Amino acid sequence: MQKIDHGLIFSYTLEKYENYDQMKILKKRGREFMDNRGFWETEDAKATGAGLKEYDTIDCMMKIDSHMKKFDMVDTAFNKRILNSVGIIPLPPEHIFNRNELEDSKCDVENESPAITQLDYALEEGAGAVEGATTSSRSTSGDSGLVIQLENGELFSMSLYRQNDPSGNELTSKVSERKYEFDSKKTASYAVKKAAKLYGADLVGIAPFEERWLYNTEVYFPRDFYTGKPFFDLANPFRPVDLGFQPKSVIVLAYEMDYEAYKTQSSAIVAAATTMGYTSMVENSFRVGTFLRKLGYHAHHAGNDTGLSVPLAIQAGLGESSRMGLLITEEFGPRVRLAKVYTDLELEFDKPKSFGVKEFCQACKKCARVCPAGAISKVTKTTDEENKPCNSSNAIGVDKWYNDGVKCLHFWGENGMECAACIVACSYNKAVSKVEKQTKSSNVSG
């Protein structure tokens, strides 16, 4: 067997990993599923023959229960884990996902496991450096995280997801008193999309604001910057979602996660690409929010907090829902992260579009086959009787496949690192060259 070089980050091409003997080394970490890994078969997806179809609203595209209950942010599998880490929600030990033990000296340099060496972990840490230093917590928790208590007792969040500054010193959170008037909603949308793309978004779409996609309550657990001491009521770390203004539009932003890096799944290199996505979310949405505030409009920028992103992205015409539950975009498949900016600026809305994902997913099932946790539904149609919610982490009332996020995270915990097998296996992945991306960036239609 060919000896594996360390430092694959500098040459993480598919060829390195198409060799199954190399990949099997990863079994040392119990990741037998690597044998089962699907490769990128974009041609499959092209074979659907489904053309692009436009709808007026998401309700014309997917069946949505008119009595649908708003989802609680605490019910996401990730937030259950975060609240477990501060002693609020008890979870069994196998759900605890602590990657620290794999880092630095304990990473697998000696075992020659590709893509999980100290070099690869350093790549991931570098990717997370900006987000870690400026956000204090992943975007699952919005402006929670590390805070400083001001003299007047109010809390100033260190997170770039913060929405205001009680001290009144911060320019970025102030709404300009002078309002810029656009001559039409169309012009306003053009300007916002241009700005978002200039700031680094790969895709931008605009949806009308709808209360039903906001979380019912959000998780709020700020901790003191200096001492780490909680600044919240341990018994009740939840608060109602309050944007502080009445939004009219939601700007939905998507960021591609690196194609070549994702081919190395599961690895610290995938985690680096994912983390870059998280960094783009906070940096880009913060900039778009600041741009709107400086135009004299209210804006609330958010990552995975505040409300559900996938239905907003569908309504904004960025893609379709899929078997694995992620948004599938025409441009990058499921390999995107999402952020959104709620604003009271009136904008021209995009229309939801279908390009045959639902029909293709009925036959494909590749993500379900490769999932090592058995977390992805294998039932053919969303209307099949066996397609039932798995647990409270499923938002219900929407016509979709129900997947088990708790099982997925459980696997991550057991495995000691993130998994992206479903994303990598998906037939809708495609490589987009830098030139193509730049061309797309100049297209402000989203």
57 or 387, CB closer to ligand SF4? 387
Q: Which of 146, 276, 338, 425 binds ligand SF4 (CB under 6 A)?
A: 425
145 or 372, CB closer to ligand SF4? 372
| Closest distance to ligand SF4 from the beta carbon of 101 (Å) | 20
| Closest distance to ligand SF4 from the beta carbon of 14 (Å) | 18
Residue 419 makes contact with ligand SF4 by CB under 6 A: yes
Q: Which of 257, 281, 411, 440 binds ligand SF4 (CB under 6 A)?
A: 411
Residue 322 makes contact with ligand SF4 by CB under 6 A: yes
Pairing assessment for the beta strands 155-157 and 146-149 based on DSSP bridges: antiparallel
Q: How many of the chain's residues bind ligand SF4 (CB under 6 A)?
A: 24
Count the neighbouring beta carbons within 10 Å of the beta carbon of residue 371. Answer: 24
Stretch that binds ligand SF4, among 16-24, 213-221, 238-246, 418-426 (CB under 6 A): 418-426
149 or 362, CB closer to ligand SF4? 362
| Closest distance to ligand SF4 from the beta carbon of 172 (Å) | 35
Residue 116 makes contact with ligand SF4 by CB under 6 A: no
Stretch that binds ligand SF4, among 113-121, 133-141, 316-324, 338-346 (CB under 6 A): 316-324
Residue 34 makes contact with ligand SF4 by CB under 6 A: no
**Two structure tokens written together for 151:** 């003299």
Residue 83 makes contact with ligand SF4 by CB under 6 A: no
Residues 349-388 that bind ligand SF4 (CB under 6 A): 360-361, 364-367, 371-373, 375-376
| Closest distance to ligand SF4 from the beta carbon of 195 (Å) | 32
Q: Which of 31, 323, 335, 337 binds ligand SF4 (CB under 6 A)?
A: 323
Residues 249-278 that bind ligand SF4 (CB under 6 A): none
204 or 398, CB closer to ligand SF4? 398
40 or 232, CB closer to ligand SF4? 40
Residues at the interface with ligand SF4 (CB under 6 A):
322-324, 360-361, 364-367, 371-373, 375-376, 408, 411, 419-422, 425-428
